[in-house]
Chains A and B, each alone.
Chain A
Amino acid sequence: MPQSNSANSVGVITPQIAQFDEPLTLVSGKTLASYELIYESYGELNADKSNAVLICHALSGHHHAAGFHEGDKRPGWWDACIGPGKVIDTNKFFVLSVNNLGGCHGSTGPTTTNPETGQPYGSDFPMVRVRDWVESQARLADRLGIEKFAAVIGGSLGGMQALRWSIQYPERLHYSVVIASAPKLSAQNIAFNEVARNAIMKDPEFHDGHYMVKNAIPKTGLMTARMLAHLTYLSDDAMGEKFGRDMKGDEVGYNYKPEFQVESYLHYQGEKFSTTFDANTYLLMTKALDYFDPAQYYQHDLAKCLDEATCKFLVVSFTTDWRFSPERSEEIVDALIEADKDVTYARIESEKGHDAFLIPIPRYINVFGAYMNRVVKDLKL
């Protein structure tokens, strides 16, 4: 088993569930009377509870960031960076990883039973925004007695949560690490999301979002959505290197079945995703992305918005990321500089596109690791 022979793994992990009965009023105005959050933790919380790090996940992510679930062969999605002696060192930090509200991996979301109807929420699950996630994560921190995080860390949509934390609860984090992210989506980003949503909602099996009651799944739509999104995570170079124009067979078949390796790959990714992810959660997550724009409450002045922050920042981007390009990260950096905040910025050379943030690229690991060591040193952990 991989978990037993890997010295730098957090080992076998069992997720935990926290039940909240205090109603949560969402930004949309709707209220969740009660909800559950599923989370995992790695490492030990120290006596004064000062070594907690919160990991925020991206669109299709979840709470299982590191280690192995019983019987699993593959570790959590960020196992490359979380573990003993790794960048986010579990010998030093107590690492908390939560499945966001509205998710489909155990936290309350569209697949949960709606207490009012006795049926799954489906599309009746209220839309949540990044602010609501931060609020729910803060409540979980309260529950665990964590007053202030050593760091809140996230990539992509997770980076947006780390950014949002810095202005929503400035007194509750020392460091914010924002990786491969953006201060808001561009028109192109929103457009991609809309194509994905359209594919899902136009699937005849979607049934206005109440497909579970009908024992159906909008599989084709979800698959198409994922295929589209997946290619925005890769760079032209990365795809070229991985697949080129390689074909499955020796000759062209003059038909419309997948013939090129890249086609098979996308079909495989879409297929896999469509059986493990909930379509309503996908819709909800893409909307949370679209709506994210913290500067809108500050006359669209990001520097004024980030002026609320008191933590220090690490911002990281990747050269071939065209979903959230380095220029988008630099908007954050520029605003932080304008607001006189402590910020370090690294623009990592990589051919891996947006997905680079999940990959242990040596330069990325070096600078990220050096930064996390600084957190340890600064907070005397």
Chain B
Amino acid sequence: MTLRSDLNIIQSWVSPESQVLDLGCGQGDLLSFLKQHKKCKSYGLEINPDSIVSCVEKGLNVIEHDLNDGLQHFKNGSVDTVIMTQALQAVDRPDLLLEDMLRVGKEAIITFPNFGYWRTRLFLMLKGKMPMSKTLPFNWYDTPNIHMCTFQDFEKLCREKGLHILDRTVVNKDHQESLAIRTWPNLLGEIAIYRVSR
């Protein structure tokens, strides 16, 4: 099984035989990979009925749960890694969820789209309209992405909460890295993958 390249970066950060919690686990591709290749014990939280069925078919532990209700199913420090891909910007309170992730897990791996990407900045500056693109295809009024931020914003939040950024990989929309992106991530990077801890 080949993984989407961002998921491949994430799986490389997960220790074998560790406990993993995936917030918004979708059809369970990442968890399935971690189960097969790293023998991880995992739970996935998901809200989409079809995705839940896909997870059941893959033999995964999937719990129907709205992330906006927090992670009360899980006790403090009960898992090693809490993963959330492309959902931070869509929850009611990203700051509270981030705290909850690090209450439950020793580490958190988070990916989200960068609102500071140069095309996004240019779109707003030249067109005077809320940016839309392949990674952000929604109108301002129907977008699930209600809390867009830039990498700098996210890192500021981490600093304010006293969280440590252990790893950061910034990529373009095809999840590729480059020297230019590494040099000016907040301008040239489209998606960031962060590994943080308390």
Interface residues of chain A, those whose CB is within 8 Å of chain B, are: 330, 333-334, 337-338, 340, 342-347, 363, 366-367, 370-371, 373-374, 377-378
Q: Which residues of A contact B62 (CB under 8 A)?
A: 344-345
Q: Which residues of A contact B174 (CB under 8 A)?
A: none
Closest Cβ–Cβ distance, residue A12 to chain B (whole Å): 34
Known: A370-B53, A374-B56. A338 touches B78 (CB 8 A): yes
Contact of B57 among A333, A334, A338, A374 (CB under 8 A): A374
Q: Which residues of B contact A363 (CB under 8 A)?
A: 49
B61 within 8 A of A: yes
Contact of B63 among A344, A371, A374, A378 (CB under 8 A): A344
Question: Contact residue range for chain B?
Answer: 20 to 34
Known: A366-B53, A367-B49. A338 touches B63 (CB 8 A): no
Q: Which residues of A contact B63 (CB under 8 A)?
A: 333, 337, 343-345
Most buried by B among A344, A363, A371: A344
A338 to B77, CA, bound (A): 11
Shortest 10 CB-CB distances between A and B: which pairs? A370-B56, A345-B63, A347-B64, A370-B53, A346-B64, A334-B73, A363-B49, A366-B53, A371-B56, A344-B62
Closest Cβ–Cβ distance, residue A337 to chain B (whole Å): 6
B75 within 8 A of A: yes
Q: Contact between B43 and A373 (Cβ–Cβ < 8 Å)?
A: no
Known: A330-B73, A338-B78, A346-B64. A367 touches B59 (CB 8 A): no
Contact of A367 among B56, B65, B72, B75 (CB under 8 A): B56
Contact of B61 among A338, A343, A347, A370 (CB under 8 A): A343
A340 to B63, CA, bound (A): 13
**A343 to B, closest residue via Cβ:** B61
Q: Contact between B73 and A333 (Cβ–Cβ < 8 Å)?
A: yes
A333 to B56, CA, bound (A): 16
- A selection of 23 A-B contacts at a CB cut-off of 8 Å is A330-B73, A333-B73, A334-B72, A337-B43, A338-B75, A338-B78, A340-B41, A344-B52, A344-B62, A344-B63, A345-B62, A345-B63, A345-B64, A345-B65, A366-B53, A367-B56, A370-B57, A371-B56, A374-B56, A374-B57, A374-B59, A377-B59, A378-B59
